[in-house]
C-alpha cells in the first residue's frame, strides 16, 4: 500500500476542499486528540508542517507498527489543517474505537500548565469539527464528538460519572488526551459547557447565517513603532512595522488583536490603537 500524501490547507482552503469532496466511508463520530509530542516548542523551533507530519508518520510506522500515519487530520498551532491518512480510511486513533471515526490530532500539549492554545489553532479546531459535523450529518454531543480520555485501553467508554469525577485520571486508566486544559478541560461536563456550544455556533454560521457586516473603524497608532504580525499573537512573525500616529483601518477585532488589512492576515495588538 502506498503511503498517504499529505495536504496542508489554510482554514479557507480546507473549508472549500471538504465541501467539494465526496467520501464513501460511513462516519459516525469524530475523535479529538492532542499530539503531546510534537509540542508547541517543537513546532516553534521548526515551523515546517510537512517535517512534523513525516516525523509523526515515522514514529507511527516504526515504533507503533501501524501501516501509515494514524490520524486523518492534523491541526497546527498556526491554524493550518493537514489531511493525512485519507478520510475514507479508518484511522488509528483510539485503540478498539476507530471504526466509523475521523481522528483529529491537535498539535500541542494541552494539559494544564503546558502549551497555551493559540487563537488560530482554536478557531481551526472549532471550524474543522463543525465542517465534519455538517459533512457527515453529526452533532456536537457526547456520542458524536468525543475525547480520547473517555475510552479505556480496550476502546470501551468510561461512564460519564467516572469521567466527570476525575476517576479516570486518578486511576491512571487512560491518557489525559486531548489535555486537561483542552477548551477548559477534558471531562464531559467541560465539553458540554465549553466545546460543543462553539461548534454549534460555527455550524449555524456555516449553514448560511448572513455574514456579519464589515464595520471599518479608523484608529491611531499610540506607540512609537507598532509591529504588524501574521496572526493574533506575539508568536506570529512580524510582517512590517508602522510608525506612531499613523491612522489605520480596523476591519475586525478579536482576542485583543485588530486586523488592519481587508484581505490579508495582518494583525496588531489593540492596546496600541486609540480612537
Judged by the rule CB under 5 A, the positions of this chain that interact with Zn ion are: 33, 148, 177
In the bound state with Zn ion, the residue whose beta carbon lies nearer, of 30 and 228, is 30
Closest separation in Å from C-beta 177 to Zn ion:
3
Q: Provide, rounded to whole angstroms, the least separation between the CB of residue 51 and Zn ion.
A: 21
- Residue with Cβ nearer Zn ion (104 or 226): 104
DSSP label at residue 137: T
Q: Which is nearer to Zn ion, 145 or 177 (CB)?
A: 177
Nearest to 83 by CA among 93, 71, 92, 95: 71
The rounded radius of gyration (Å) of the Cα atoms in the chain is: 20
**At which residue does the C-alpha cell 500548565 appear?**
113
CB of 32 to Zn ion, least distance (A): 8
DSSP strand E in the chain: where?
Answer: 7-9, 29-34, 73-75, 81-83, 101-106, 145-147, 217-221, 225-229, 238-243, 247-250, 252-254, 257-259, 267-269, 273-274
In the complex with Zn ion, the residue whose CB is nearer, 32 or 118, is 32
Please, what is the minimum distance in Å from the beta carbon of residue 167 to Zn ion?
19
Phi, psi torsion values for 60, nearest 5 degrees: -65, -35
Amino acid at each position: 500500500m502506498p503511503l498517504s500524501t499529505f495536504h496542508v490547507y489554510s482554514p479557507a482552503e480546507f473549508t472549500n476542499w471538504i465541501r467539494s469532496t465526496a467520501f464513501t466511508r460511513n462516519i459516525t463520530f469524530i475523535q479529538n486528540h492532542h499530539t503531546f509530542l510534537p509540542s508547541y516548542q517543537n513546532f516553534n523551533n521548526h515551523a515546517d508542517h510537512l517535517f512534523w507530519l513525516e516525523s509523526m508518520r515515522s514514529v507511527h510506522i516504526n515504533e507503533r507498527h501501524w501501516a501509515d500515519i494514524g490520524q486523518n487530520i492534523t491541526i497546527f498551532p498556526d491554524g493550518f489543517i493537514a489531511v493525512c491518512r485519507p478520510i475514507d480510511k479508518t484511522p488509528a486513533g483510539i485503540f478498539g474505537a476507530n471504526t466509523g471515526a475521523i481522528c483529529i490530532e491537535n498539535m500541542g500539549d494541552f494539559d494544564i500548565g503546558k502549551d497555551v492554545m493559540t487563537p488560530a489553532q482554536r478557531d481551526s479546531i472549532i471550524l474543522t469539527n463543525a465542517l465534519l459535523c455538517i459533512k457527515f450529518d453529526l452533532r456536537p454531543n457526547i456520542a458524536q464528538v468525543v475525547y480520547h480520555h473517555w475510552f479505556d485501553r480496550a476502546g470501551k467508554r468510561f461512564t460519564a460519572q467516572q469521567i466527570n469525577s476525575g476517576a479516570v485520571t486518578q486511576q491512571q486508566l487512560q491518557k489525559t488526551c486531548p489535555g486537561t486544559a483542552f477548551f477548559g478541560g477534558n471531562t464531559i461536563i467541560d465539553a458540554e459547557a465549553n466545546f460543543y456550544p462553539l461548534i454549534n455556533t460555527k455550524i449555524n454560521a456555516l449553514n448560511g447565517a448572513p455574514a456579519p457586516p464589515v464595520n471599518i473603524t479608523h484608529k491611531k497608532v499610540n506607540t512609537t513603532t507598532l509591529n504588524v504580525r501574521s496572526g493574533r499573537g506575539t508568536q506570529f512573525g512580524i510582517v512590517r512595522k508602522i510608525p506612531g500616529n499613523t491612522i489605520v483601518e480596523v476591519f475586525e477585532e478579536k482576542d485583543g488583536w485588530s486586523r488592519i488589512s481587508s484581505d490579508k492576515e495582518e494583525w496588531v495588538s489593540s492596546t496600541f490603537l486609540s480612537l
